[in-house]
Amino acid sequence: GAVVSQHPSWVICKSGTSVKIECRSLDFQATTMFWYRQFPKQSLMLMATSNEGSKATYEQGVEKDKFLINHASLTLSTLTVTSAHPEDSSFYICSATQGWANNSPLHFGNGTRLTVT
């Protein structure tokens, strides 16, 4: 089946530094990738939608200058948390799909747990 690899699985960084998270579709070309954030005991909240070769579309309330998304190829999207602060500590998950249709499967990575000290 389709596999989405997310790296790193966990990262600890100091406040003020930047962290890059990679999301790769291993055996399919992902036309669209999505980035989610999940706080403890809360639902997955969509942060942004990323299409290959174009600018990401951010959800309301998500700072695009803080969460930089690059979707340079059909198999790789990156999320960079810039100038991280403790409140950015969360579980970040990417997902990828091959198509636009309602029933296009959405494949999730295993997530990245970010802790900012």
Residues that bind another protein (CB under 8 A): 4, 6, 9, 32, 34, 36, 41-46, 49, 93, 95, 97, 100-111, 113
**C-beta of 76: minimal distance to another protein in Å?**
17
Nearer to another protein, 84 or 107 (CB): 107
Nearer to another protein, 30 or 116 (CB): 30
Nearer to another protein, 84 or 111 (CB): 111
Structure tokens at 112: 């990245």
Cα–Cα distances in angstroms (integers) from residue 14 to residues 20, 77, 115, in the given order: 13, 24, 9
**C-beta of 85: minimal distance to another protein in Å?**
23
Sequence-distant (6+) residues with CB within 8 A of 43 are none
Cα–Cα distances in angstroms (integers) from residue 18 to residues 42, 43, 115, in the given order: 25, 25, 12
**C-beta of 102: minimal distance to another protein in Å?**
4
**C-beta of 97: minimal distance to another protein in Å?**
5
